[in-house]
Structure 1
Amino acid sequence: MAYRRNAESNRDALFGNAASAKVSSLNKKPAARSTTTTSTSTSTTSRTSKKPLTRTLTGQAKIDKMKEAEEYRTKAKKALQRGLFSSPDPIAGGMFYHRAAEAYKLCGENRLERLHRIASADCQLGHGAYATAAQEYVKAAELSKDSEETLERKRAECTKLYADAAKAWKEENELGRAGECMLLSGFSLLLTEEETVGGQYLEKMSKDAMTIIEAAVESYVPDPLNLYKSFRQTGVSSFVDPDSTPSDYQGDWEPDEATLNLCKNHMVKSSFAHETLAKAIHKFVQYGEYKSALYAAGAVTAILEADGFSTITLSRAYCAETVLMLAQGDVVAADKQFLEIHLQNNNYLSSRECKLAEDLIRAIKSRDPDELDVARDPNGSNRAALANLDPTLRNLVAFLKISGAAKKKASVPTSGPVANNPSTNQGGDQLQNELDDLMNGMGLGSDEVEEDDDDDLDLR
C-alpha cells in the first residue's frame, strides 16, 4: 500500500491531479466493457449450442451457393476431360466435386450432395487416395440412409456404398475400418421400419446379410483363431486350403502352424475392435440367430485374450458365450466350455459374471425352474452381473428354459421387400446402372453411351 501511495504522489507531482483522474477513469471503463462483452459471448455460446450443427441456406444466399456448386461441377468435369495436350486430372476433379458437395450440403440438397460425394470418391480412387475415398463413400451412405428414398433403394445404396468404402480401406491396409464398413454394409440390408418385440425382430435375417456380417467377423478374427468357427452358417473361411480340406467344409478342421501364424498377423487388434464386433452379436440375437451370434462372440473373446490382460470386458464376453450356448439348448457344451476354458482364467473366478454363468448352468442342468428364476432375478444376487450385460443378452437370459432352446418370436412374412428377395438383387443392378449413367454424365464413366435414367437429373 505504501508503494501505491508513493506512486500516486509521484504521478501527481509530475502530471498533476487531472492526469491521475484521467488514468483512473480509463482504467475503469475498459473493465466495464470487458465484463459486458464476456457475458454477451457466454450467452451467445449457450444459445448456439442448442441449435443444429448444420443450417441450410435460404433465399438469395441459397441461389448464389447453388450457382457456386454448379461452377465447381463444371470445373471438375473439365478437369476429367482429355484434351489434345492434356490428360484427365483426378486430383483436381476430386477436389472440385468435393467442394460442390459441400456447397450442396449448405443448400440442403441431399441427393445432389450424395451424388457429388460419390463422384469425388471415384476420383480419389483414381490417384490412390483410398482413405479420402472411403470417407466420401461413408458420408454418401449416411446421406442415403437419411434421405427420403424408398426402403428398397436405401438398402441397395447403403449396401453398395459401405462395401465400396470397405474395399478402399482394405487398399489402405486399414483392416479394422474395412471390417466396420463391411458390418455396416450387412446391417444396411436389414434396414426395416418394424420395431422389435421383446428385443427381437419378427422377421428372419436374410441370408445375404448373414453372409456379409459373418465375413466381416472373419475380417477381424480369422476362423482358425475362433474357438466357435464351426457355428458359422454361411461362407467358407478365407484361410482354408481348398486342396487339403473337404468340399463340405463346416469349420471343424485343424490348421497347421504356418496358417496359425498367418492368421495372427491378420487379426485386428486396434482399440475398441471388440466393441464393433459386439454390434454383430447384438444384431444376430435380435434376429434369433444364436449360432452366428456365438460365432461372433468367439471372435470377441479371441481379441480380448490376445491382449494378455484379464478385464471386466473379458468376463462379460465369457458370460455372453455361456448365455448363447444355453439359448441353443446345449447345456452340456456350455458346462464343458465353462469348466475347461472359462475357469482357467483366475480373474474370471472372482467375477460377478462367473457366478451368474454358474447359477444358470446349475439351474438348467438340475431342471429346476425355481432356481432358474432366482438366478436371473433382476433384484437378486446376480442383479449387478445382469445389469452389466447388453440389453439384448439380458432379454435373452429372460427367455432361457430348463429344456430346449430359448424362446423365439414367431416369424411372420414381411410386408415390405426383404434383402434376399430376387427383386432386391434386381434393384441393386438397376441402382448400379443408374449410378453408372450419372457418373458418365459427370465425366467419370466409360466411353459407352447409355440412355438417360428415369430420375430426370441433369448434372451436365
Structure 2
Amino acid sequence: MAHYKRNAASNRDALFGGGGGGSSAKKSSAPRPRPTPASTTSRPSSSSSSTPSTTSSSGSGGHDSVRARLEEKRRGRGEVTSTLSGAAKLAKMKEAEEYRIKAKKAMTRGVFSSPDPIAAGNYYRRAAEAYKQCGENRLERLHRVASGDCQMGQNAYATAAGEYTRAAELAACSGETVPRKRQECHKLHTDAANAWRQIGENGRAGESMINAAFGLLIGTEDENAGRTLKQMDRKALKAIEAAVESNVPDPLNRYAKFRAIGPSVYVDPNADPNDPDAKARMIELAKQNMVTKSYVHETIFKAVYKLAEYGEYASALYATGAASATLEAEDFASISLSRAYCTETVLTLAMGDVVAADKYFLQVHLQKTSYLSARECKLAEDLIRAIKTMDADALEEARTMDTSNRSALANLHPCLRELAMNLRTSGKAKRDGGAKGNMNVNAPKTAPPSRPAQPAARAAPPTQTAPATKPNTVAVEDERPPPNQGGDLEGDELQAALDSNFAELDELMGDMGLDSDDDEAGTSGDVGATAGAVATGEYEEEDLDDDDIDLR
C-alpha cells in the first residue's frame, strides 16, 4: 500500500508539479493564530492588537509572490539565478545527484525489472529543478533534455516539448561559444516542434519552428545594432520562411512569389501547371493544413519584424501576406487586419514598387469594409499618393507625427515606423544602420563648383567652342554627360544638330535665364546667309580671301 502511495505521489508530481495541493499543503501551512480574549473591564493590550498585523503580513505574501513572478518574467525565463548559497546549495546539489542516480537506476534493465521511462523522467525533472535553484545552467539543461527524451519514449509529447523548450532557453543564455549555442537552440526548438506536431498542436509547433530559426541568429544582435548593414544568414532566412509556411501554406499566400529561398512543399514539380484539378487539390490540401489558432498571426509577425530589421523586405512581405491570410480566414479581426494591410503597403513601398502597392491597395485592401474607416487606410493612401506623384512635401506631411496619421504611425511596430520614415519618392527606402547606414550611396554626387557661363560665349559664331558651352552648362543641372560632338559643322548642319540634340534642353535653359533665342536665331541667320553667299559667289573675289574672312 505504501508503495502504491509513493507511485501515485510521483505520478501526481510528474503531471502537476511538486508541492501541489491536497493534505500535504494543509499540513505544511501555518496554523491560524487565535484571537486573545479581551477583558471587559481592562483596556485592550498590545498582544490583542497583534492579530491584525499578523493577518496583514500573511495577506501581503500573495502580492510578494506576484511581484516575484513578474520580476522573473521581466528578466526572462532563460536567465538562471541562484537562490541558494553555502551549505544550502551543497545540500541541494547532493539532493539533485541522488535524483540523477535514481533516474539512471530506473532506466537500467534487471532480471526481474524493465526500464521505467516515466519514473526516470520524473527523477530527471526533479534533478533539473534542484540544479535550477543552485543556478547550474549546464546541469539543468542536460537533465531537461534527458527528461524530455524519457517523456518522448512514453508518448508524453506535451511534457517533452516543455522540457525541450526550457533547455533551449537555457542554451541561449549559456556560456558556450556562439556556434554551439546556435546549434543547440535550433536543435532543441526543432525537437519541441516535432513533439507538438505529434499531438496536433500545429500552432505551437509553428511557434517552436520560428524560435528555432531565430536561434540561428544568436550573436548577430550586437553587430551593427541589428541593423541592415549586415545581411541575414541564408540558412536562417530559409528556416524562417519554412516556419512561416508551416503556419500558412504558400498556395494561400498572395505574396508567395516574394519568397527568397526554397520552393513550397505543396507544389508538385511533376504536376501540370495548367491542370485545374491539380491546382484545386493543392489548394484544398493547403486549407486543411492552415493553422487557424487565434494567436498565430502574432507568431508570424515576430518573423516579419525580424526580417524587416535585417532589411529582407521581400521576405518580410511574404511573411506579412501569411499573417493577413490567417486574419482574413478568421473574418472578424479588424484592427489587426488593418495593421497587417498597412504593413504590406509600407514594405511594398520600401521595395520601390509603388505600382504593386497601389494595385493591392485598390484590389485587395479596399475590398474590406472595415479597412475603409481605419486610420491605417488613410496613412497607406497618403503614402501611396505622395510617392506616386513624387511629391516630397506630401510624403513628409503624411509621415509626420503631428498630423492626423499620428495614431496610425504609433500603432506600427518601431522597425516598421522607422521604415516608413525612410521612404523616398523614388527608389527603395533608405537603410538606416548607424553612421554608415545613413549614407545614401545611391544619391547623386554633388558637382564641383564651376565657373558661371559667359554670355559672350552664347553669342559667338558657331564653332566647336559654342556647342561645347551649352552641354557643359546643362550637364551640371541635369547630371547627364554631354553628347559626343562630331567634326566641324557650319550653317544649316550645325543648326540641325543643335535642334535634334538640345531641343528639350533649350527650353530648360531659357527658363533659367541662361539662354537667348534671339541671339541664337540672329547668329544662325547670319551664318546661314554668309554660307549661302559664299556658295552662290555673290561676294567679290577679294572678299573671299582667307585673310579677310573671320570665321571665329
TM-score range normalised by the length of the shorter chain: 0.7 to 0.9
Tell me by how many angstroms 1:269 deviates.
Answer: 1.4
Partner secondary structure for residue 256 of structure 1: helix
Query: Structure 2: how far apart are the matches of 1:258 and 1:46?
Result: 56
C-alpha contact (below 8 Å) 1:200/1:285 kept by paired residues = no
In 1, distance between residues paired with 2:353 and 2:241? Answer: 22
Counterparts of 1:123 and 1:171, CA distance in 2: 15
**What residue is the counterpart of 1:416 in the other structure?**
none
Shift of 1:200: 2.5
Aligned-partner residue type, residue 389 of structure 2: S
Instruction: Output the CA distance in 1 between the equivalents of 2:257 and 2:163.
Output: 37
Give yes or no for the alignment of 1:241 onto 2:264.
no
Once the two structures are TM-superposed, the CA of residue 411 in structure 1 deviates from its matched residue by 11
**Aligned residue number for residue 145 of structure 1:** 172
CA distance in 1 between partners of 2:66 and 2:100 (Å): 33
Structure 1 residues 181 and 56 mapped into 2: Cα distance closer, same or farther (>3 Å)?
same
Task: Identify which range, 205-214 or 261-270, moves more after superposition.
Answer: 261-270
1:168 correspondence with 2:195 = yes
Alignment partner of 1:300 out of 297, 301, 323: 323
The CA distance in 2 between the partners of 1:288 and 1:255, in whole Å, is 36
Residues 152-163 of structure 1 mapped to structure 2, 5 A cutoff: 152-163=179-190
In structure 2, distance between residues paired with 1:305 and 1:390: 20
**Do the aligned partners of residues 179 and 411 (structure 1) sit closer, same or farther apart at CA in structure 2, a change above 3 Å counting?**
farther
- 8 Å CA contact 2:271, 2:278 repeated in 1: no
- Offset at residue 216 of structure 1 (A): 0.7
Q: Which residue of 2 aligns with 1:35?
A: 52
Q: CA deviation at 1:22?
A: 3.8
CA distance in 2, matches of 1:242, 1:90: 43
Mapped partners of 1:312, 1:58: distance in 2: 50
Count of matched residue positions in the alignment of Structure 1 and Structure 2: 387
Q: CA 1:220–1:254 in 2, change beyond 3 Å: closer, same or farther?
A: farther
Q: Say which of 391, 413, 417 aligns to 1:368.
A: 391
Counterparts of 2:356 and 2:102, CA distance in 1: 64
Whole-angstrom distance in 1 between the partners of 2:235 and 2:267: 21
| Sequence identity percentage | 57
Q: What corresponds to 2:418 in structure 1?
A: 395
Tell me by how many angstroms 1:313 deviates: 1.0
**2:487 counterpart residue number:** none
Q: Are the structure 2 counterparts of residues 264 and 411 from structure 1 closer, same or farther at C-alpha, using a change threshold of 3 Å? A: farther
Equivalents in 1 of 2:189, 2:85: separation in Å? 32
* 2:346 counterpart residue number: 323
Name which one, 1 or 2, has greater alpha-carbon Rg.
2
Q: Which runs of 5+ in 1 are unaligned?
A: 1-19, 247-252, 413-460
1:261 matches 2:261: no
Report the CA distance between 1:227 and its aligned residue.
0.8
CA displacement at 1:368 relative to structure 2: 1.2
* Structure 1 pair 196–323 and aligned structure 2 pair: CA distance change class (3 A): farther
Which has the higher mean CA deviation after the structures are superposed, 25-34 or 160-169? Answer: 25-34
Letter in 1 for 2:194: K
Match of 2:366 among 343, 360, 380: 343
How far is the alpha carbon of 1:40 from its aligned partner?
A: 3.1
Kindly report which structure 2 residues correspond to 1:253-292, keeping only aligned pairs within 5 A, or say none: 256-292=279-315
Contact 2:83/2:135 (8 A) holds in 1: yes
* SS of alignment partner, residue 49 of structure 2: helix
**Other structure's SS at 1:269 match:** coil
Deviation (angstroms), 1:345: 0.9
* DSSP-derived class of the 2:427 partner: coil
Using the alignment, how far apart are the partners of 1:237 and 1:24 within structure 2? 89
The 8 Å contact of residues 195 and 201 in structure 1, kept in 2 or not, is answered as: no
Query: What aligned pairs does 1:57-136 form with structure 2 within 5 A after superposition?
Result: 57-136=84-163
TM-score by length of 2: 0.66
Contact preservation (8 Å) 1:231, 1:292: yes
- Worse overlay, 20-29 or 319-328: 20-29
Instruction: Decide whether the 8 Å contact of 1:198 with 1:395 is kept in 2.
Output: no
- The letter of the residue matching 1:164 is D
1:47 Cα deviation (Å)? 6.1
Q: 1:217 aligns with which of 244, 247, 259?
A: 244
For each residue in 1:203-222, what CA deviation from the matched residue of structure 2 results, as whole angstroms up to 9, or x when unmatched?
11011101111111011111
2: distance between equivalents of 1:307 and 1:36? 53
Task: Using CA pairs under 8 Å that are at least 6 residues apart, name the structure with larger relative contact order, 1 or 2.
Answer: 1
Deviation at 1:94, TM superposition (A): 0.8
Whether the aligned pair in 2 keeps the contact of 1:310 and 1:347 (CA below 8 Å) is no
Could you tell me how far apart the structure 2 residues matched to 1:24 and 1:49 are?
A: 44
What is the aligned-residue RMSD (CA, Å)? 2.6
Q: Which deviates more, 354-363 or 266-275?
A: 266-275
Q: Which amino acid counterpart does residue 149 of structure 1 have in structure 2?
A: E
